Structure 1
Amino acid sequence: MTDRAFLVQLEGYGLTTAEICYAMPDYPALLQIFAWQEYDAAPDFPVLFDFLDHWRREIDAEIRAVRIAHEGMIRPATWRSADGVISWE
């Protein structure tokens, strides 16, 4: 059985991480952060925007900011040696 994450990467999706900064109506001055991660297609991010639309409709919290990081390419792992210590990138 093939991993779902690998299959969606073959279809052009990449791992997307969003940092959602929001405030609850009871404490508007207190900002909180929610981390969201899923495979999505850049630059349109349909999965993320579906989630954000759901948030705006169903969750009683105001989104103040969203930061997005996206890793889009499948590539082999690389390694390098620095002073005899191997580190993975």
Structure 2
Amino acid sequence: MRETERMLQGYGLTTAEFYYRMPDYRHVLNSFIWQDYDLAPDYPQLFKFIEFWQEKLEGPLHSVRFTHRKLISPGEWRNVVGEFRLH
């Protein structure tokens, strides 16, 4: 239920792809996919993770690409009181 409440508060799913250099082989790029519920346009969770990466992990970041999508909004939520079944 926590995720639904967050979505109704305006949170959306943010997906980020991090490209980083390998600590021992600086000429090799690797990628990492990260997802979390976040608020646009400030993206506090994303920037918190980027700060964690820069402080705690050895592989320096090359670039970050991300997208944000609201999965549900208050206007899309409706109560369904009936259901029709065929066969």
| RMSD over equivalenced CA pairs, Å | 1.3
2:62 pairs, out of 54, 64, 72, with: 64
Q: Give the distance between the partners of 1:69 and 1:41, measured in 2 at CA.
A: 12
Provide TM-score, normalisation by structure 1. Answer: 0.77
1:49 aligned partner, one-letter code: F
Larger gyration radius, structure 1 or structure 2: 2
Q: Give the distance between the partners of 1:72 and 1:43, measured in 2 at CA.
A: 12
Larger RCO (alpha carbons 8 Å, 6+ apart): 2
Q: How many residues align?
A: 74
Q: Give the distance between the partners of 2:31 and 2:2, measured in 1 at CA.
A: 28
3-state SS, counterpart of residue 27 of structure 1: coil
Structure 1: unaligned runs, 5 residues or longer: 77-89
The structure 1 segments of at least 4 consecutive aligned residues displaced by more than 4 Å after TM superposition are none
Structure 2: unaligned runs, 5 residues or longer: 77-87
Of all paired residues, the percent bearing the same amino acid is: 45
1:10 pairs, out of 8, 11, 34, with: 8
